[in-house]
Amino acid sequence: MIQQIDAPLREDVRLLGNLLGETLKEHAGQDLFNQVEQIRALSKGARDGQVEAEKQLEQLFLSLEDEEILPLTRAFTHFLNFANIAEQYNVVRSRRQSEFDENAPSPNPLDHLFQKFKDHEISADTLFKQICELNIELVLTAHPTEVSRRTL
């Protein structure tokens, strides 16, 4: 169910990512685009637990020249901003759809989360205990940027 709900969002993020990639190639060159794609692929591998990808990513970052860092940082910043825009648009799209179609999925992400708890037979007591054990830390950054989280 969640996969179907997230499909339009993933399509929007993919579209904006592809447009960014084409813009990078046209205005910054193929080399920057290739670096971004290599970092993106290695990052996905490292996130998925591939130790070799993590090592390669570390080596790549250590080998970067100072003048290469800013364009890479800007490219990934633009992608995160585009992903945020896509996510905000997806929220609006979901709300509009639910206004006009009573059979449309609820735009409230908590509805899907609580349904998942029910489907996996997670009791209110178990959920309460888990919430009580949460360790939440605030993170302060030097820039007033916002990167919205897609997960709860």
Q: Is the pLDDT of residue 149 over 60?
A: no
Instruction: Give the model confidence (pLDDT) of 63-107 as tens digits.
Output: 999 999 999 999 999 999 999 899 889 888 888 887 787 777 676
- Give the start-to-end residue ranges of the domains of the chain: 2-132
Tell me the DSSP string of 63-95.
Answer: H--HHHHHHHHHHHHHHHHHHHHHHHHHHHHHH
Q: What is the mean pLDDT of residues 101-130?
A: 84
CA 13 vs. chain centroid, Å, equals 9
Model pTM score? 0.64
Conformation bin of residue 48: beta by default, left when phi > 0, alpha when psi is -120 to 50: alpha
